Amino acid sequence: MASRNTRKDAARSGTVPARLSKEEWLARALEALGKKGAGELTIESLARQLGVTKGSFYWHFKDRADFFRQLIEYWDEHFTRTVIVEISSQGCPPEERLLELMRLVLTKRLDRFEMPVRAWVQQNPALAPLLRKVDRHRISFVRRLFLEMGFDEDTADMRTRIFLTYMISQRFLLSPTAGSKQFADLHKRAAFFTDR
């Protein structure tokens, strides 16, 4: 069997297809889930779409369960954790950080996989603890912002849950024409959540 270096050299020369990275597998799987649903998350279907063999899958993932776990973790990292780090690093007041979160969700379409991921997890109860972990992280972050604004614990909890419910579902509840208006009304909507 050829060494990894030999395979890499062959891939560069064009004699064999380059191996997909784990990141590429996960990114493409998330896109497939978002566009066509959980039925597309089979090894065979993904390998066919990516133009690789199933061996490429097993190079990165032990099995289907490991792949599913890593897909949730990938989604969490790219659509939650990096956003929280970015916003937390800003030295502005909490009201402005909440507004920035709303802006990022809209401009980067960070909510586009919310419903597909949640529907998929409902079909795979073993993944529910991972989804709950993502939700706890989000709740903790947004709740801290409301507490920093001076709201009491109960009010911060209520506003956090209403805010996150809205942010998760807005793309799927509002008509496409309402989408462009969202940017114009961003400050008004932020004020709705933060005003006393």
State phi, psi for 185 to the nearest 5 degrees. Answer: -95, 10
DSSP H or E stretch at residue 109: none
pTM: 0.83
CATH of 71-196, one of 1.10.357.10, 3.40.50.720, 2.60.120.10, 1.10.150.530: 1.10.357.10
Residue ranges of domains in the chain: 18-61, 71-196
Q: Which of 104, 76, 100, 82 is nearest to 90 (CA)?
A: 100
- Looking at residue 74, its pLDDT comes to 98
Say how many C-beta atoms besides its own lie within 10 A of residue 87's C-beta: 20
Average pLDDT over residues 57-68: 93
Nearest to 110 by CA among 133, 87, 90: 87
pLDDT digits (tens, 9 = 90+) for 140-185: 999 999 999 999 999 999 999 999 999 998 877 765 545 556 667 8
CB 86 within 8 A of CB 72: no
Quote the percentage of the chain above a pLDDT of 70: 85
Q: Shortest CA distance to 111 belongs to which of 155, 172, 160, 63?
A: 172
pLDDT in tens, 77-134: 999 999 999 999 999 999 999 999 999 998 999 999 999 999 999 999 999 999 999 9
CATH number for the domain running over 18-61: 1.10.10
